[in-house]
């Protein structure tokens, strides 16, 4: 596979928001280290899109919405197992905004996800029921974009789910490891790498 970005490629920047960076409500270790790397990559792509975690207050994925539950516990939801998180990326709050140094001006589209109160959304393509679409796939197909390069936060959750779903619905997917950081919750990073490899996601260190 040719790695050099072309006119039918998209750089998908996943959830580089204040709450996922140091000092945020759900900080990923060294999450802000991806910002200069992503900003450099943006200059190499003709097409760029962003995802933004965008939860209403009291979202069902928040541990605080389940009396007696603690963050990072897992519960059963109608759509399957759900990790419970600290309140994060609440609509309209500073934590939900993009990192202030992130280059966003060339983004052609922003996909907001997780705004439905009763279902979480890791993937840029589907809610966690794996059936409810965000609309990104249709946008990409109408634009004639065929290959997705992924960067952002976190490798083992929203980046992984986005990459696997991209492959599941027929797009080529390349994860740029230098532009990602992981949570690595109870082996989640190793599981993510295995799942992406099985789905046919290509993994490169940098471009």
* C-alpha–C-alpha distance, residues 92 and 130, integer Å: 26
| Per-residue confidence (pLDDT) for residue 2, from 0 to 100 | 56
Pairing of β 48-53 and β 172-181: unpaired
Q: Does 113 qualify as catalytic in the annotation?
A: yes
Query: What length does the chain have?
Result: 207
Q: In this structure, are strands 172-181 and 202-204 parallel, antiparallel, or unpaired?
A: parallel
Cα(102)–Cα(39) distance, integer angstroms? 7
Round the CA-based radius of gyration of the chain to a whole number and report it: 16
Q: Which of 9, 87, 120, 158 is catalytic?
A: 158
Measure the CA–CA gap between 42 and 53, rounded to whole angstroms: 20
172: annotated active-site residue? no
How far is the C-alpha of 19 from the C-alpha of 21, rounded, in Å? 6
- The active-site residue out of 15, 53, 87, 165 is 15
> What whole-number distance in Å separates Cα of residue 174 and Cα of residue 153?
15
User: What pLDDT is recorded for position 1?
Assistant: 52
Number of Cβ atoms within 10 Å of the Cβ of 100: 11
Catalytic residue among 113, 156, 165, 180: 113
pLDDT of residue 165: 98
**Residue pair 181/33 in contact by the 8 Å Cβ criterion:** yes
Max distance between CA atoms of the chain, in angstroms, equals: 51
57: annotated active-site residue: no
What average pLDDT values come out for the chain (207 residues) when binned by 10 residues? 84 98 97 98 97 98 97 95 97 98 97 97 96 96 97 98 98 98 94 98 95
For 4-99, list the strands marked E by DSSP.
9-14, 48-53, 74-77, 80-83
């Amino acid at each position: 596979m040719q790695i050099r970005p072309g006119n039918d490629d998209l750089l998908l920047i996943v959830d580089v928001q204040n709450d996922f960076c140091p000092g945020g409500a759900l900080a990923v270790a060294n999450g802000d280290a991806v910002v200069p790397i992503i900003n450099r990559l943006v200059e190499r792509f003709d097409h760029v899109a962003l995802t933004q975690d965008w939860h209403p207050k009291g979202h069902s994925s928040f541990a605080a919405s389940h009396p007696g539950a603690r963050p990072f516990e897992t519960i059963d939801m109608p759509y399957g197992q759900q990790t419970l998180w600290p309140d994060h990326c609440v609509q309209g709050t500073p934590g939900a905004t993009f990192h202030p140094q992130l280059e966003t001006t060339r983004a052609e589209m922003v996909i907001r996800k997780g705004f439905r109160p009763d279902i979480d959304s890791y993937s840029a393509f589907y809610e966690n029921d794996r059936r409810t679409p965000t609309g990104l796939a249709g946008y990409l197909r109408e634009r004639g974009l065929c290959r997705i390069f992924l960067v952002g936060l976190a490798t083992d959750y929203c980046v992984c789910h986005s990459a696997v779903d991209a492959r599941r619905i027929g797009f080529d997917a390349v994860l740029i490891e230098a532009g990602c950081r992981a949570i690595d919750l109870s082996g989640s990073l190793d599981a993510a790498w295995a799942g992406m490899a099985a789905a046919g996601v290509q993994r490169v260190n940098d471009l």
